[in-house]
A and B are shown apart, each in its own frame.
Chain A
Amino acid sequence: MKVKKDIYLVDRLVLLFLFLFILMAILFSFLVALAPDRGSYLFFFAFALILALVLYGAYRWIYLPYRENNKVLRLFADGYIFRGVFDLRVHFNRESFLAFQKFKEILDTKELLEGTKKHAEYLALQNQINPHFLYNTLEGIRSEALIAGVESIANMTEALETFFRYTISDMDKLATVEEEIAHVQTYCQIQRFRFGEKINFQVDWDREQDPGIMQAKIPKLTLQPIVENAVFHGIEPKLGKGLVTLRLERTPRRLLITVSDNGVGMEEEQVNRLNDKLRGASLTYIKKDKKTSGIALLNVNNRIKLLFGDEYGIYLYSKPGAGTDVEITLPLLL
């Protein structure tokens, strides 16, 4: 981005204040010089006290909020935050406040959400027409047919049908954790036709401590893309059996979901890069033509942040040979 070389309005104000301050300083030194002649220091002390109070007040009341606002705008420009920019503690003036609100309305999450939703649908559609996905599934059906297991063909077809039905249905809705897990199980069932016993999936949660957690609401298609990522990038390249574990925990305000796989893991640079991208909400990845890694994670993360706020989202832990943990933080909606 080109930065316009100009004296900004606030810079002009700073210059003006500096000028006034110099004038005050001259006046102050004049008073200091006069005080011994007049024999009274009272006015001099009163002036010094008022000046100190004014300076302190200006620091606390003007300079600190100004610095905070600058920091927030800078973080917004650097892509750290998205919605946070609309919630400044002290706005510059009434007009800028109104302008920010209007800006929020125009660029409100609805439009961006529409973008991510469209992209999620696109990814889902891409999966449906992905030749590998289709061929491998059909290859599975054919193999089963050859072995003359009519029941298994029926099961497989049913699983596919369930999977597509859930994927294509209304994206606006929130789904329960139970529904999402059922969808992941269907997905794993389909993958097992291809990978056999290599793909294993388990759900880990404390029934006594967290009753009702299965009925918590989360955005639709939150878990399956992450599990799919774990299968393709973690477990598929790995030798031997793979396990994807979904761990559910809740606090009074948050739902914490961890998707762990014991796959090949990722290099540190890649983890750092992804975590940096996951920190804020950005739609730049949609514009890119080629498929970049972790796009499903970014999509899910964006939807969460746009729906619920910057404080929710995804964080990644991974190490080559140690597998990957994807930690999803959501508000608890019951």
Chain B
Amino acid sequence: MKEEILRLENVIRKINGITYLDNLNFQIFKGEIMGLLPLDNHGKSQLIEVISQNVPLHFGRVYFDDQLVNYYEHSSRTKNRVYLIDKETNLIQDLKVTDNLCVLNPAFQDYVIKEKKLQTITRELFGQFGIEIDADQYVSELSMLEKTIVELLRAVLNGAQLIILNELSNFLSIEELAFFQQLIRYYTKKGIAFLYIANHHEEAFQICHRVALFAKGKIIKVLREKEFSLENLHPYILVFRRHQGFSEPHRQAGVFQCAELWTEHLQGISFSVEKGECVTILDVNNRGIQELAAIVNGYLRPESGRIVVDGKAIPLRKERNLFLDGVAYIPENPVPASLFYDLSYLENLTFMIERKLKRSLIPPRILSGVKEEFRCLVGAEIEAKDLWGLEMKSLYNLVYLRILLYKPKAVFIMQPFSHADMYLRGRIIELIKLLKEKEIAVVILAVSISDTLSITDRLLIMEKGKLAPSSHGFTGLTPYLW
């Protein structure tokens, strides 16, 4: 017999008059991996909040472990035994793994910390799964996978009955994800339930027992294992048709070339990208692309190798931001990372253009020219005095149109689809196509394949810092992705 660990009944959550959760019904059974595919991000964080803590509800009831813990009349604000694993770690970075696991556990009652005893417990715990993490290591020194594993073990030790996994594929590579999923399966057998929030159905279908589709603050469909097929999903999603096959690696020199690039995690990679071409580098181990991005941004100097932009070799004797050499970079989740909400739309759009134009002051006629040129693309938004009232779609427009204004030779984009809902992903695809049309070479750095194949001309797979000889004909993906 199934036992419910969580039950949300007709839950309505309103904040400042905005309905974030709208008559939401939803249950998770003990030992179940319940998938959640958010088609849009409206209400997602409020759902996590309602599950984790008994915050006031406009209406509805929340049952945790078959007990009514929150309802419309009275909300105690107590926390449920729920643990959230997200890209932002809950671990204390400056403490050791042992301390995070054992000492910060509410069940730890000792007055004296016996380090050796705790280390033994930690090592035994890791030993069960053949994990090689040094118990004495500081959390800040761990890789993303190691941090995520420590978080999971911490959640289990803390007695969490439900663990929320928020978009793991945004920060774990395919290989890491496969390993982590084994741990998840192991703990389901121990009765722990998981809410697996995924941004791609294929990822959720691989591991979940049921998958709920979430849109506009409500569950619009619950699919069971038997119903896991694209055909059943089709009426609910936007389908982005996969790019018609990959192009052959070209023989002539591209507008961006990198040859025999060596760093700690890059093992002599070489690739070349042509004008208007989109190349995706899929990092299976989640090591190399971070260093590639660091080189482009001037945070890291390669040990050896060569970078050529538009036929001009870039001197790499010291760290060098490649922006002025014609290589732009769009970070992951670019809105908070690269926009300034208090500046106007035009100021954001023309931010750093003076460096591109090599002038300290930009004449007003140039600014008004830019304004008129982009008005036909974004309409009245160009007049916005600040960015606070703009929708996410408009903010993404701004990020990509700014690149269009800089007219770089190449642009590196780190995980363009992470943190984006289905509708936004559609817009990002259009924006990347726009960059390609303007003959800008696009390099997508990704740890998960997600929707990149709908725009990619060539896929390069990076494994242990090396690019596979040929990624042409990479299989294992469905023809349609969303």
Contact = CB atoms under 8 A, between A and B. Distances in A.
Interface of A: 68, 71-72, 75, 80-81, 84, 88-89, 209-210, 249-254, 265, 272, 275-276, 279, 311, 315, 317, 319-322, 325, 327, 329
Given A322-B232, A322-B235, A68 B220 contact: no
Contacts of B108: none
B59 to A, nearest CB: 5
Given A75-B72, A84-B73, A319-B236, A249 B220 contact: no
Given A275-B23, A276-B23, A250 B2 contact: yes
Contact of A251 (B2, B74, B232): B2
Nearest to B231: A322
B66 interface: yes
Nearest to A247: B224
Contacts of B23: 272, 275-276, 279
Nearest to A69: B73
B9 interface: yes
20 contacts: A68-B73, A71-B72, A80-B72, A81-B72, A84-B72, A209-B2, A210-B1, A251-B4, A253-B66, A275-B23, A279-B59, A317-B219, A317-B221, A319-B221, A319-B235, A320-B235, A321-B235, A322-B235, A325-B221, A327-B25
B61 interface: yes
Contacts of B9: 311, 329
A247 to B, nearest CB: 8
Interface of B: 1-4, 9-10, 23, 25, 29, 59, 61, 66, 72-74, 219-222, 232, 235-236
Given A279-B10, A322-B236, A252 B3 contact: yes
Given A279-B23, A311-B9, A317 B61 contact: no
Contacts of B66: 251-253
A210 to B, nearest CB: 6
Nearest to B57: A71
A254 B4 contact: yes
B72 A322 contact: no
A84 B1 CA distance: 30
Contacts of B73: 68, 71-72, 84, 88-89
Contacts of A325: 221-222
Contacts of A253: 66
Nearest to B72: A75
B221 A68 contact: no
The majority secondary structure among interface residues of chain A is mixed
Contact of B74 (A68, A315, A320): A68
Contacts of A80: 59, 72
Contact of B1 (A89, A209, A315, A322): A209
A276 to B, nearest CB: 7
Contacts of B220: 317, 319
Contacts of A251: 1-4, 29, 66
Contacts of A71: 72-73
Contacts of B1: 209-210, 250-252
Contact of A72 (B72, B219, B222, B236): B72
A80 B235 CA distance: 31
A259 B25 CA distance: 16
A252 B67 CA distance: 12
Contacts of B236: 319, 322
A334 B25 CA distance: 25
A291 B235 CA distance: 29
Contact of A317 (B10, B59, B222): B222
Contacts of A252: 1, 3, 66
A71 B71 CA distance: 11
Contacts of A89: 73-74
B56 to A, nearest CB: 9
Contacts of A321: 235
Nearest to A265: B235
Contacts of A322: 221, 232, 235-236
Contacts of A209: 1-2
A135 to B, nearest CB: 35
From A81, A209, A279, name the one whose CB has the most chain B CB atoms within 10 angstroms: A279
A84 B60 CA distance: 11
The 4 closest A-B pairs by CB, nearest first: A322-B235, A321-B235, A315-B25, A68-B73
A311 B220 CA distance: 20
B62 to A, nearest CB: 11
A254 B10 CA distance: 16
A12 B427 CA distance: 57
A96 B232 CA distance: 53
Contacts of A72: 72-73
A9 B235 CA distance: 55
A315 B7 CA distance: 14
Contacts of B3: 251-252
Contacts of A315: 10, 25
Contacts of B219: 317
B373 to A, nearest CB: 39
From A88, A249, A322, name the one whose CB has the most chain B CB atoms within 10 angstroms: A322
Contacts of A88: 73
A72 B236 CA distance: 36
Given A84-B73, A322-B236, 20 more contacts: A68-B74, A71-B73, A72-B72, A75-B59, A75-B72, A81-B72, A251-B1, A251-B3, A251-B4, A251-B66, A254-B4, A265-B235, A276-B23, A279-B10, A319-B236, A320-B235, A322-B235, A325-B221, A325-B222, A327-B25
Nearest to B59: A80
A260 B433 CA distance: 41
A242 to B, nearest CB: 16
From B61, B74, B222, name the one whose CB has the most chain A CB atoms within 10 angstroms: B74
Nearest to A256: B27
Contacts of B72: 71-72, 75, 80-81, 84
Contacts of A75: 59, 72
Contacts of B222: 317, 325
Nearest to B61: A311
From A89, A250, A311, A321, name the one whose CB has the most chain B CB atoms within 10 angstroms: A311
